[in-house]
Amino acid sequence: MARVFLKATPQIEADRNLLRFSCYEEYLDSLGTSQDACYLQSVEASRIIANLGYRSSGETLSREQFEKRLAAVMSYLYPPYKAYELSSEGLVEADADVFLQELSSRERANRIGVLSSIIFLRAFTRCGVEVSGFIDYTERLTKEDWKPIFKGERKLMPKRFDLGFYHWKSGDVVSNDSLNYKVLQHPQKGLIFQNRFDRKIINPDPGCEPGANTSRKRIYTKLYELCIIFDHVVRQRI
């Protein structure tokens, strides 16, 4: 389950004082004066006068406004839980490209944290320039809308902010740590990745074993020049 956080607006901060009232009637009673109690001798009459706005120099809330603002404050202080949503659900058909089917089959496991997949891609941009890179699948799932990708409307492409990125025309090489991996430069093995949770090493070198609890699978797809997925099973969080 994922917690939904609301941003504290100035209105929510100002409405925190509504928490001291358990109902709208208590709010109206707080606007009454001692003179009301003395002369009117009627709680209902005092509340009617307060509701009409005669007992406040500022804004007097209606019942609907009171309940709406109080609910907003409660939602901010005690955010509701919302189950994660699978972007691929109902979008990847049986005749979809094998790459999309592979990503769809891994989405749930990556979202709940039992699997941490790294995707290596070699692809051409719209300008015909070749780029390649290593993508932290879990991180990218949380940072962008994947529905256009699973619908086949947009291709997943390596970016400069991914784990690794290489621009074949300019020769630019970029590497970045992600939410799930640290990028390490090994003197013999070259570029390797360390999972932040169980500290296991993932070695992308095709001539070596990928590492403990990790498997390598090449995906033969028409969408990319080369596609390899490294699936790391996260055994323990440290």
Model confidence at 107: pLDDT above 50: yes
Task: State the DSSP H helix or E strand holding residue 36, giving kind and residue range, or none if neither.
Answer: helix 34-39
Integer CA distances (angstroms), 41 to 45, 53, 232, in order = 8, 19, 73
8 A C-beta contact, residue 232 and residue 213: yes
Is pLDDT of 5 > 50?
A: no
Q: With left for phi above 0 and alpha for psi between -120 and 50, is residue 41 left, alpha or beta?
A: left
pLDDT of residue 1: 42
Average pLDDT estimate for 139-145:
92
pLDDT tens column, 173-211: 999 999 899 999 877 777 999 999 999 999 999 999 999
Is the Cβ–Cβ distance between 233 and 214 less than 8 Å? yes
- Stated pTM of the model: 0.65
75, 6 in Cβ contact below 8 A?
yes
Find the length of the chain: 238
Q: What is the pLDDT of residue 179?
A: 87
